[in-house]
Amino acid sequence: MPPADIGDRLRDLPGGTAVALKLDPREFADHYFAVLNATLRDVGSEPNAHVIYITVTNPASFVWSLAQALDVPQDRLSFVDVISHIMMNYSNPLPNATYVETPRALEEIMLRVDYLLRKYPHPRSVVVVDSLNALAIHNPRELLSEFFHIFLTNLKSRNVLTLILVTSDEEAGELERMLNLLVDETVDVGGGR
């Protein structure tokens, strides 16, 4: 799918849908920004929408700086940051972020998302996981599979649109197969659906 069409496609998805967004590693920067644009500005700026962004690849401060460049209102976006502590990038915590010490704390991630969904009840809740590949670096595949099964089932039952970023390469094949069993749709950013 052309990166420019991603926002339109995501806006059409109903709550309770889980989507894998496949990014091409050869065009990662362009595709990553297109996905941020689609998830944070296009979907996140819908009336009555709130985005909870789980940062594993980049710290919340980095994603927030991109969100500000896209004119995303702060009250429409919350973060569960699971990478800043490990990167020792925790000196200036964001007021709209909650911090988890390690990407290995999968249960803690679920609890923080649950807390934010209750704190910011909106008719259109969106959870973005950035990214499956980064979580796989820190967690065994079996545990990650179990986590996503429970996590996605819970979010679907609460009518939350869930978007999971995954970088598509030869090494990620097993991850993609696992994810394909759990998501409702896969959108190939920059390619066909």
Domains of the chain and CATH, by start: 3-188 (3.40.50.300)
Please report the pLDDT score of residue 191 as a whole number: 67
Q: How many CA atoms, within 13 angstroms, populate the side-chain half-sphere of residue 151?
A: 27
d(C-alpha 193, C-alpha 183), whole Å: 14
d(C-alpha 42, C-alpha 27), whole Å: 21
Which ranges constitute the DSSP H helices of 85-185? 106-119, 132-138, 141-157, 173-180
- pLDDT digit string (tens) for 136-177? 999 999 999 999 999 999 999 999 999 999 987 766 678 888
Residues facing residue 81 across a β-bridge: 55, 99
Does 65 have pLDDT greater than 70?
Answer: yes
Q: How far is CA 185 from CA 96, 135, 163, 174, in A?
A: 29, 20, 10, 17
Please report the pLDDT score of residue 44 as a whole number: 84
Calculate mean pLDDT across residues 127-138: 95
Q: What is the pTM of this model?
A: 0.94
Q: How many CA atoms, within 13 angstroms, populate the side-chain half-sphere of residue 42?
A: 18
